[in-house]
Amino acid sequence: MTKLLTLNAYAKLNIGLRVLGLRKDGFHELHTHMHTIDLCDELTFQKTKSSVEIDIVPVTDIPLEKNLIYKAIRLFQQKSKIDQNVQCKLTKVIPMGAGLGGGSSDAAATLVALNQLFDTNYSNNTLAEWGAGLGSDIPFFIEGGFACAKGRGEILRTLDSPYQDHTFVVIIPSIECSTPEVFKAWDEFADSMSIHDVSCEQMDSQNDLQASACRRYPKLKAYEKLIQSAPTNLKGMSGSGSSWYVGFTNEREAKAYQTQLQSLQLEAHIHCVKAITTTKE
């Protein structure tokens, strides 16, 4: 019988994000805190004698060669010298263009899964080094939890989480944000900005991309205004948008706030999720 291997690929929140300028390589220098949450995609892998196949539910129109799962499979084959192909079924829950890292998390889960499926025993550090070439967030998702990220987001320092008992209400508008477009909007106003870094210990929920995302996608301003009145100080936009989060120490209060938002009939999905400190299953 063909062995099946199923893994979850968890979403993340950026709890604070500083943009420190444009680098010579075209990327931006960042400083952010990232935390995995229990909103996740599900990926199931099996070996196959035919070509690589990726079955996505619900169906998307992304060409196979541009899919990060496909790129991660080919990268693993190249690095490991294993030429056997795999089939993957992806049950997609994390929306694209939401600032939750869904594509990067899927790619990281793919590297972890193939390492298990082929018993290659590569270390997580090795998988993270490989993944960094595919996407800046991928090294974080290899282990998940809570981390301070610098550089493009690939230089990681794991931290003890102050949020492990928190419940987050995550608002995901029906708006797909392009990360390059949001950074381009940031570049246009960079000369007039006061750019400053803070220590990992001083990081708050301020997101330097929030204003740029709202300029590029004006419909986000309504959500920005909405969470300003949320009954907690732990709130902000995740990544380059379009998602917003509000954090609570009391799960009952979080669910009450979720219900309140759902009554507004927003064009958005509203999830009540837990912060998780490990993605190992």
Q: 205-223: b or e for each residue (b if 16 or more CB lie within 10 Å)?
A: bebbbbbbbbebbeebeeb
Most distant CA pair in the chain, distance: 62
Q: Which residues are catalytic?
A: 12, 137
**Tens-digit pLDDT string for the chain (281 aa):** 578 999 999 999 999 999 999 899 999 999 999 999 999 999 999 999 999 999 999 998 889 999 999 999 999 999 999 999 999 999 999 999 999 999 999 999 999 999 999 999 999 999 999 999 999 999 999 999 999 999 999 999 999 999 999 999 999 999 999 999 999 999 998 876 777 788 888 899 999 999 999 999 999 999 999 999 999 999 999 999 999 999 999 999 999 999 999 999 999 999 999 999 876 55
Domains, in order of start, for the chain: 5-158 (3.30.230.10), 167-274 (3.30.70.890)
| 267 CB burial (10 A radius; 0-12, 13-18, 19+) | exposed
d(CA 186, CA 182): 6
The answer to whether residues 116 and 5 touch, using CB atoms and an 8 Å cutoff, is yes
Q: Using CA atoms, how far apart are residues 196 and 20, in angstroms rounded to an integer? A: 7
Q: Which residues pair with 235 in a beta bridge?
A: 246
Single pTM value for the model: 0.95
Tokens of 141: 């998702």
